[in-house]
Each structure stands twice: as C-alpha cells, then as structure tokens.
Homo-oligomer: A and B are copies of this chain.
Amino acid sequence: MWFIPSSPGRRISLELTGIKKPFTEVIKANIGDAHAMGQRPITFLRQVVALCTYPNLLDSPSFPEDAKKRARRILQGCGGNSLGSYTASQGINCIREDVASYIERRDGGVPADPDNIYLTTGASDGISAILKILISGDGKSRTGVMIPIPQYPLYSAAISELDAIQVNYYLDEENCWALNVNELRRALNEAKAYCNPKVLCIINPGNPTGQVQSRKCIEDVIHFAWEEKLFLLADEVYQDNVYSEGCQFHSFKKILYEMGPEYYNNVELASFHSTSKGYMGECGYRGGYMEVINLHPEIKGQLVKLLSVRLCPPVSGQAAMDIVVNPPVPGEESYAQFIKEKESVLNNLAKKAKLTEDMFNKIPGVHCNPLQGAMYAFPRIFIPSKAIEEAKAHKMAPDMFYCMKLLEETGICVVPGSGFGQREGTYHFRMTILPPVEKLKILLEKVKDFHIKFLEKYA
C-alpha cells in the first residue's frame, strides 16, 4: 500500500475553518518536510540559486563573492548560460564533477567517476528509474526485490507498479532495528521458490526506523550481495543525519572499495542522495543524484534512454544539489555563516532525537529505540484488544485507528506503522522530529496524554 502521508492532515486543516475541534492547529509530523516545519533554508544555497535565476544579481554588492563564483560556474555549464535551457539527461557536467569530488572527500579518497553520476529529480526519481531497468520477466521468473520491513513506501509502490515481487526482510526491533544477514538469507531462500531475487534495497540511515548501520553490518551485507549476485541499492539520503554517539555514517561505496578488488570489481551498486534531507531540507527543489558502480554497459544504455524521456532533471534542483556537494570551505567569505547554520540545524536535530526517545520511553505502553539517525521516531505502541476490535469494526488497521484518533483529538498528524510494514501483531507510528524544540515538547506531552487516555478508554 502506498500511503499519501499529507492527506489526512490536509483534510483536517481545511475542516478547521468550520467545525469545532479540540485543538487549534494541525501539527504535521507525518512527513519529512523540514521547511514546512519552520526550518530556515541555508542562506548560501539560496544565494547561489537566486544568482543563477537572475544573473543581474551578479553585479549586486549584497551577494558574497564565493556564491557568485559558484553561480558563474553553474551558468557556464548551462546552454546559453541559462537555467532555462535543457541540460543533458544525466545532468550538467560540472555538477556531476562536483558530486564526484564530494564523494571522494566523503569516502576518504576512494575514487568516483563523474560518468557514473546521474543527477535526478529527487532521490525517488533515481530509485524508480534503476528499479525499472532491473525488473523483468514474468511467472516464476518475476524479479524479486528485497526491501527492509519497515520500509519507506516508495519501494513497495514502485515494486508493485513494475509488477515485481516484494521480498520482505525484517529489521530487528529488539536490537535497535539492526539488519541481520541471517534474516536476509532466510528471506532470500524463501523467495527463490517463487521469484528471481535480483535486487537488495538498503536504507541507511533508516527510514522510518532511524538506525545507523555499523561498518561490520555493511561488510556483511556486501559480502552477502557478492555471494548471491544481488544488485545493491543503497538509499543514503540521510547521510548527514547521524546523531547517536558512537554512530557514524559509512557509505556502501566506501566499504565496497575497502573490501578489495574481488568486491569492488564485481558487486553492482547504485547509491542515492538528495537535497531534501540532511541539514538543507530542500524538498521542493527535487534535486538528487545517484552513483552507479559496475553497471553493465547495456543496462547503462537503457538507463540513459529511460532518463532521456523526461528530458532533464529540473535545473534549479541541479544547482541546489551542487551547493550541497560544494559548500563554502574554510577561507571563503561565507564559510562561517554556512557552518553556523548547518550545525545549528544538525545540533537541534540531535537534541530532538534524544528528547523524543526519552519522552516516548516514559509513556506506559510505548517503546522507542534510539533515534541514531534520519529524522523520525518509530515507537512501538501497545494497542489494547478492545481498541483492536473497534478498529476492526471500522475496517481499519489498529494503528491507523490509533493515528486517526490522535489526529482528531490532538491535531497531531503521524503515519501508522502499517504504511511502512511491521511484524504481525506489532503496532507503531512514524513521527518526524522536525518541529522546533518547544513545539516538539508540547507535541510529545500531548501524545503522552492521549496515549494514557487511550489505554484507559480501551482497558
């Protein structure tokens, strides 16, 4: 099931003007939409995009020289020096070069080739495109795509649309949502009986589960993919969102390289990044990139052909992506402000991650794993059997019933765990930690009060 996270909140927002509700404001904690929750854009990114949009501003003394330098470089990569020209389907050359340099810096010098970089319309466009070219066959030979449960529902939607088989592997909730290779193996072996599993999707840091994979875990997964000849699809859009002490983001690309030539010459990998998350939160620009490794030349040809149908990714999104991978560096005029803004966002998110975990774990009947990364809590909630019966009478999943009640009574909009998948008989919801700290505290208090009353009502 593809869940449209914004709909119920929107409906209630509209209703608020008329019918009386026990709250004055809908808080949309259902979608990772940072700016909508009040986060300010990164000044430097917007300056560069504004300069590209209206190049007269290149003469304005109110824009810093380092922003102008980047804008000029981007415009030189555009036909007629205009953001209004089509670019190559793969994206602007100099931006792909900047992406490759970024990956090399991020991965401690592991080489990245601009030819392997494709700029995309957000990460989801790249993920859909790659899945489309990897999926084929029918009957028992239908392509199986392994995805984590819980997952981000783009995956299940794309798999179902492409008529492939969704192969679930379960993350280990008792163990901070860790990925266990034994579970991968179980899922794969069972799936082989009814489909042809070819792709293994990983979301790291996890959405909705927020775990950050250890180096050891990534090595195990890569070894498994190598052994089983699975195409690895690494969704790494939360790579800047790591909060817990002792946790660190490792890219699949880097670990693959460090495991030696037997791995990096053979394992096929596509990894994804985006302007939408991290500290910039620029969802509306629909900027993103993917890096592909060891893609068969024929498949690469198909990919280019497929991407050419949509002509090119939005060029202002490409420009925004450039600033994410090529931000101000020490010595540049805008560096101090950039770092201040970036760290302010990330430090705040880290604070809110801890706050949310602590607050949830104080509520009876709620358990929340540490939010090691990303921007969501995915607490497990106890739903009394009386409430489950009432949900059934309404033909609703129990956690959907819970979330609708929460929305109606508090104005807080979260997404039921059933939209992401969860182990049978367990219930969760996903809530973003994006509201400002003070608002988040109020929100968590309201959830607490609601939950206690809910337990009492259906005791």
Contact = CB atoms under 8 A, between A and B. Distances in A.
Interface of A: 2, 4, 6, 10, 31, 33-39, 41, 46-47, 49-50, 53-54, 57, 60, 62, 78-80, 82-89, 121-122, 124-125, 128, 154, 157-158, 161, 280-286, 304-305, 308-317
Given A50-B50, A54-B49, A124-B310, A78 B284 contact: yes
A38 B85 CA distance: 10
Given A310-B121, A314-B285, A6 B88 contact: yes
State how many copies of this chain the complex holds.
2
A85 B315 contact: no
Contacts of A35: 78-80, 82, 84-85
Between A35, A54, A310, A317, the greatest number of chain B beta carbons within 10 A of the residue's beta carbon is seen for A54
A285 B88 contact: no
B281 A84 contact: yes
A122 B313 CA distance: 10
A283 B10 CA distance: 31
A31 B86 CA distance: 9
Given A31-B86, A83-B285, A314-B316, A309 B57 contact: no
Contacts of A316: 49, 53, 284-285, 314, 316-317
Given A33-B86, A86-B6, A284-B82, A124 B311 contact: yes
A304 B4 CA distance: 9
Contact of A85 (B4, B33, B80): B33
Between A39, A128, A286, A310, the greatest number of chain B beta carbons within 10 A of the residue's beta carbon is seen for A286
Given A50-B54, A54-B50, A316-B316, A83 B309 contact: no
A87 B46 contact: no
B38 A80 contact: yes
A106 to B, nearest CB: 23
A39 B314 contact: no
A283 B313 CA distance: 10
Between A10, A38, A47, A310, the greatest number of chain B beta carbons within 10 A of the residue's beta carbon is seen for A310
A128 B84 contact: no
25 contacts: A2-B308, A2-B309, A4-B89, A6-B86, A33-B79, A35-B82, A36-B85, A36-B86, A49-B53, A49-B316, A83-B284, A84-B280, A86-B283, A87-B284, A121-B310, A122-B311, A124-B311, A125-B310, A158-B309, A161-B309, A283-B311, A285-B314, A285-B315, A286-B313, A286-B314
A49 B308 CA distance: 26
